[in-house]
Homo-oligomer: A and B are copies of this chain.
Amino acid sequence: MKFGVVGTGVVGRTLASKLVALGHEVMIGSRSKDNPEALSWARGTGDRGKAGTFGDAARFGEILINCTQGAVSVNALRMIPRGDLKGKVLIDVANPLDLSGEMPPGLTICNRDSLGESIQREFPEAKVVKALNTCNCEVMVNPGRVNGKHDIFLCGNDAQAKEQVKQLLRDFGWESIIDLGGISSARATEQLMPIWLRLYGLYKTADFNFRIVRN
C-alpha cells in the first residue's frame, strides 16, 4: 500500500520507517522539498522511502498520516491541494500541544472541540481517523516495548476507514484496540495528554501506556 506521511519530525519518521519495514511504499512530506532530515531518512531506507513536500506526500499516498505538530496541523494540511485529500483515509496522530505557555503543556484546543474534529471539519473530503495519539511514537509502532496488556484508541466518522486503520494497528502489533465512536471522541484521547505528560515526568521514560481494566 502507498502511504503519505505528512510531517517529518521524529513521529513521522518513526511511523514511516515502520511502514517501510512492513513492506509499504512511503513518502514523507515536509514544508519544503529539500528538508535535510527528510532526505536523510529517505536515503537511510535505501530509497525504499521517498521524501517530498506535504502535497507530494499526499498525492503519493492512498492512506495519509498527519504527524505535524498539532498546534499547526490545520495550517500545514491546508498546503495540500484539496483533490489530493479526496476520499482518502487521513490518520491523525497529532496532539494540539500548546508549547507557548508553562510546562507541561496544555492544549491549544480541547473540551468542546479537538484537533481531530477540526481537521475533519476543515477537510470534509478526507476520512479522518484519530489514532495512536495516546502513546510515544516508539510504542505506537512497537507496543511490545511495554510489557503486558495495554490499549490503543481510535475514533472517526467513517466505519470502513476505521476498519482499515484497525488492520494497520494490528500490523503494528496492537492486540487491544478500543473504538470510541465518531471523531468527536478525539476530545477524549487528546485530553489524555495532560496526564501522559505528567506520568512521563514522573517515570522519566515514555515506555508506558494506558490500559482500561474491566471485568
Contact = CB atoms under 8 A, between A and B. Distances in A.
Contact of A213 (B111, B195, B205, B208): B208
Nearest to A112: B106
Interface of A is mostly: mixed
B208 A210 contact: no
B214 A213 contact: no
A192 B189 contact: no
Contacts of A31: none
Contacts of A197: 188
Given A110-B110, A208-B212, A210-B210, A191 B195 contact: yes
Contacts of A181: 198, 201-202
Interface residues of A, number: 40
A191 B189 contact: no
Interface stretch (A70-78, A118-126, A146-154): A146-154
Given A110-B110, A203-B214, A209-B213, 13 more contacts: A101-B112, A106-B187, A110-B191, A147-B215, A153-B195, A180-B195, A188-B198, A189-B195, A192-B195, A207-B215, A209-B212, A210-B210, A210-B211
